[in-house]
Structure 1
């Protein structure tokens, strides 16, 4: 089994399915990453400085038998490190915690509410890309108006925009804008988040994993609702990074290449679009912004 890859505007490629490690401890992350790489066949790991587990990712990679050059590693700049010099320092710190010489993708975690600082941060990201210590650079949670800033600025465009995306929130406007400008879209909370209350101001708990439409579709293929959701992302041309620290779930989440959703299935899933979120709207998120 080989995970499909998506060409990025950086000239590199990204495996379309990866392992997310949000809310996992360093020890949980080390085990999950090693298992994912050695036993389940993953080649893409997504972390962030804010997750507090970059060390675990690095240890898991080191403990695996997979060569570094065959693994796509993403990490992210946290909000408090926006700005030119602070972003450069934060990137160095992330590399140190990971124990790596380079990452494959470095992302701005949130756009925050200060345009001047956003653009200075992107200046730092361009410098990082020019150093080849990040093979590609990108953003998270950028709305079309944030992306338009970078288009208008000139210079490098993000290779990826990682956003909350699932059938409740399919993000058509972002996907359309990104496609127009050659930016790949990656989905966080691709399974709709957890069953607990959402963490944004207007967010709601996840109901997708118990949704009767997804359950019915899954039963037709002998698949779980989670596997149907992952397949939905893949067939929509999205990069998808479901999170788990459980061996059985990690293995199950990549067992999605032996079935195909029909046009009818996709039409049924499209009826689940109700605009509900797990997290904050990016235009309302300013947590941890530099003073």
Structure 2
């Protein structure tokens, strides 16, 4: 599963596909967020143009998933979602999802959607609880899967998380790092989780350079250590109740969305 943005990340995927073929790759790309004030019709046209741009750049007939970012404008989200639904119907994508949608923005989308999002991709890490703002529950009730990013913080690893005594203690018991424990918690709570091959990234950017000396490959191998073991019921309960960094931003931008996740106390 390769989740990428238009630009350098996408260009790297195109280069790989040209040399090695697409076999076994799940291609997942994101629609750019339109500038503030963009009309719904113009936003829809931008989404359509990007889909064609992505397919041409990758030299493929379809991608496996298109994901739509949230917007302060409900009409913009609804107009762009129609474009994604049409792409699904025409075979240009196999599935469609959303990014950073709170309950309010999902309700906006579902008012007019013919196809529900397959998933909601949003920030979720240990210290936030399994169901901050009831978002997981709302998604589950509507058949929308949770896909988590920022399992150790965003835009980069949060030192408060990686140095948390509970994560360290559990990690020692399983011979795992605090990061692996944090990732395992997300997976075991029932969400899918994305990982970056490198921790040298800014918000929304994760690019491996060709001359990185194998650091990206090592990073992916390290994060694959989340499989093949499990946390106990007691450990999950302790991690569910763990407090995270104060004033943790949600990264939602839609009107009516909460500005920060409420931490368990």
Report TM bin, short chain.
0.7 to 0.9
Give 1:71 deviation, angstroms.
1.6
Residue 69 and residue 160 in structure 1: after superposition, are their counterparts in 2 closer, same or farther (change >3 A)? farther
Looking at structure 2, the residues matched to 55 and 252 of structure 1 have their Cα atoms a distance apart, in angstroms, of: 25
Match of 1:83, SS state, is helix
Offset from partner CA, 1:50-99 (integer Å, 9 cap, x none): x64211122234444xx625221110001127722221101111222233
C-alpha contact 1:193 1:206 (8 A) present in aligned 2: no
Looking at structure 2, the residues matched to 62 and 127 of structure 1 have their Cα atoms a distance apart, in angstroms, of: 27
TM-score by length of 1: 0.72
Looking at structure 2, the residues matched to 52 and 171 of structure 1 have their Cα atoms a distance apart, in angstroms, of: 33
1:209 paired to 2:162 = yes
C-alpha contact 2:81 2:113 (8 A) present in aligned 1: no
TM-score by length of 2: 0.79
| Ranges in structure 2 where 5+ consecutive residues have no aligned partner | 36-41, 199-215, 257-265
- Residue among 197, 220, 231 paired with 1:261: 231
Question: Structure 1 runs of 4+ off > 6 angstroms?
Answer: none
Match of 2:226, SS state, is coil
Offset from partner CA, 1:90-142 (integer Å, 9 cap, x none): 11112222332211110012x11111111111111111111111100110000
Name the stretch that deviates more: 276-285 or 120-129: 276-285
Looking at structure 2, the residues matched to 103 and 219 of structure 1 have their Cα atoms a distance apart, in angstroms, of: 41
**Residue aligning to 1:38:** none
| Ranges in structure 1 where 5+ consecutive residues have no aligned partner | 1-43, 197-204, 286-291
1:127 paired to 2:86 = yes
**Residue aligning to 1:80:** 34
C-alpha contact 2:152 2:182 (8 A) present in aligned 1: yes
Looking at structure 2, the residues matched to 150 and 194 of structure 1 have their Cα atoms a distance apart, in angstroms, of: 27
**Residue aligning to 2:180:** 227
Name the stretch that deviates more: 224-233 or 55-64: 55-64
Looking at structure 2, the residues matched to 61 and 232 of structure 1 have their Cα atoms a distance apart, in angstroms, of: 33
1:103 paired to 2:63 = yes
Offset from partner CA, 1:29-62 (integer Å, 9 cap, x none): xxxxxxxxxxxxxxx111122x642111222344
What count of residue pairs does the alignment treat as equivalent? 230
Between 1 and 2, higher relative CO (CA 8 Å, sep ≥ 6) is seen in 1
**Residue aligning to 2:16:** 60
1:190 paired to 2:144 = no
Match of 1:132, SS state, is coil
**Residue aligning to 1:12:** none
C-alpha contact 1:54 1:98 (8 A) present in aligned 2: yes
C-alpha contact 1:166 1:190 (8 A) present in aligned 2: yes
**Residue aligning to 1:142:** 101
Match of 1:68, SS state, is coil
**Residue aligning to 1:176:** 137
Looking at structure 1, the residues matched to 226 and 153 of structure 2 have their Cα atoms a distance apart, in angstroms, of: 17
**Residue aligning to 2:252:** 281
